[in-house]
Amino acid sequence: MTTNIPTPDVRPANPRFSSGPCAKRPGWAPEGLDTSTLGRSHRSKPGKAMLADAIALTREVLKVPETHRIGIVPASDTGAVEMAMWSLLGERGVDMVAWESFGAGWVTDVVKQLKLEDVRRIEADYGELPDLSTIDFDRDVVFTWNGTTSGVRVPNGDFIPTDRKGLTICDATSAAFAQELDFDKLDVTTFSWQKVLGGEGGHGVIILSPRAVERLESYTPAWPLPKIFRMTKGGKLIEGIFRGETINTPSMLCVADYIDALNWAKGLGGLDALKARADANFKAIQNHVDASTWLENLAKDPATRSNTSVCLKIVDPAVTALSAEDQATFAKAIVSALDKAGVAFDIGAYRDAPSGLRIWAGATVETSDLEALMPWLDWAFETQKAALKAAA
């Protein structure tokens, strides 16, 4: 069915608002990448130098303390989190903290794959944080800093004590390079390149505190470890991993792309500038949501709202009166209309999350593009609502 609802006059220059892989940095072009190591071994002198450069730039831009080790590992953030859990957990009880699908996935892995018995689940529904005061930091703790599929983040690291006995394992994949990570409170921090810096998929980064290294060298899990998870040999940390001697073969093209993004970030002014860009992007979305009669932020508490993965729910009474299945269909129709119009790609809610929209607001997105997108959201909603009314 067609409608006569006019389209907005201004279109986003870049319609890429996916939450991963995310938009490339402004001005990105493949010709700008250093391809000198392509076709060379990653263990060659130039290959190792490029990997070491990526680690050094990561430390500089993220403000990682010199006491912490940084390694490039296989299989994106998922691989980095699994590496940490399989290598470190089991020495003591663990508190698993989850409020969205990825955090829930880590719970499943710990309970059903590692089969740990002393596991406490501290969970909340989409849109909320669990009660962080109930976490026992004498135990190990696994949590996400920013819930990518719910748009809910921890406001800061104040809930983590400095005198904890257990380790903190933090999945920070959609927070790194956009939010302030308190590395004094984080023993393991993981992320992937394809989020805030718009890198290519397939590679993860793991950051270890001295306490995490101590655990690795003093504790041996009861289960066998796959090769790609092994960070020790003979009871000692494999230091080469944290100098660029990767466990398996990385894509040097992806490494070059990551370095390009890191240099762009450094040129902007580093982490502070990246955070400012993400904050401005979030504000462009939230200002529109605050004035809207049909949209709300899925994150209920403003203090916990993500400035990267902004998740929105449809609250118009005509839509909320529908069945859950029909509400999901309505939201997907909005997403499809925006995609067909060429103004927004890949902004549907995550498959396990409540129906709605998820718009990436990380630093590689231009605020002007988000400002241009907002009237298009209203256009798509009104178009679909008119179709819903006509079909009634």
Average pLDDT over residues 73-96: 98
Evaluate the omega torsion of the peptide bond into residue 21 and state whether it is cis, within 30 degrees of 0. yes
Residues 347 and 295: their CA atoms lie apart, in Å, by 14
* Cα 262 from Cα 98, distance rounded (Å): 30
Residues in the chain: 392
Q: Is the pLDDT of residue 1 over 80?
A: no
Instruction: Report the relative pairing of strands 295-297 and 309-314 from DSSP bridges.
Output: antiparallel
What tokens were used for 169?
Answer: 């394992």
> What confidence tens digit (pLDDT) does each residue in 291-323 have?
999 999 999 999 999 999 999 999 999 999 999
What pLDDT digit, counting tens, does each position of 98-129 carry? 999 999 999 999 999 999 999 999 999 999 99
What's at 104, amino acid-wise? Answer: A
Q: Are strands 140-144 and 94-98 parallel, antiparallel or unpaired?
A: parallel
Residues 6 or more apart whose CB falls under 8 angstroms from that of 391 comprise: 1
Q: What is the second-level CATH architecture of the domain 270-391?
A: Alpha-Beta Complex (3.90)
Q: Treating both helix axes as pointing N-terminal to C-terminal, what angle do 271-291 and 45-62 enclose, rounded to 10 degrees?
A: 60
Indicate the pLDDT class of residue 18, thresholds 50, 70 and 90: very high
Q: Is the pLDDT of residue 3 over 80?
A: no
pLDDT of residue 280: 98
Residues 6+ apart with CB under 8 A from 208: 68, 69, 71, 187, 188, 216, 242
Q: How confident is the model at residue 4 (pLDDT cuts 50, 70, 90)?
A: confident
Partners of 141 in the β-ladder: 95, 168
Asked whether this chain's domains 33-267 and 270-391 adopt the same fold, the reply is no
DSSP letters for 313-359: EE--HHHHTS-HHHHHHHHHHHHHHHHHTTS-BS-BPPTTSPSSEEE
Question: Are the C-beta atoms of 193 and 200 separated by less than 8 Å?
Answer: yes
- For range 75-83, the mean pLDDT: 97
Secondary structure of 262-306 as H, E, C letters = HHHHHHHCCHHHHHHHHHHHHHHHHHHHHHCCCEEECCCCHHHEC
- Structure-token match 């709202």, residue found: 305
Contacts of 105 (CB under 8 A, 6+ apart): none
Sorting pLDDT into bands at 50, 70 and 90, what band is 140? very high
SS3 of residue 198 by DSSP: coil
What span, in angstroms and rounded, lies between the C-alpha atoms of 189 and 206?
Answer: 6
For the chain, the first-to-last Cα distance in angstroms comes to 13
| Type of residue found at 176 | A
Spell out the domain ranges in the chain.
Answer: 33-267, 270-391
**pLDDT, tens only, 240-275:** 999 999 999 999 999 999 999 999 999 999 999 999
- Cβ-proximal residues to 283 (8 Å cutoff; 6+ apart), any chain: none
> How high is the mean pLDDT of the chain?
97
Strands 188-192 and 203-208, how do they pair? Answer: antiparallel
For 151-187, write each residue's pLDDT tens digit: 999 999 999 999 999 999 999 999 999 999 999 999 9
Residue 103 belongs to what H/E stretch?
Answer: helix 101-108
For the domain spanning 33-267, the CATH number is 3.40.640.10
Q: For the beta carbon of residue 165, count every other beta carbon within 10 angstroms.
A: 12
Distance CA 204, CA 298 (A): 28
Nearest-angstrom CA–CA distance, 356 and 348? 6
Please give the structure tokens belonging to residue 296. 């709300």
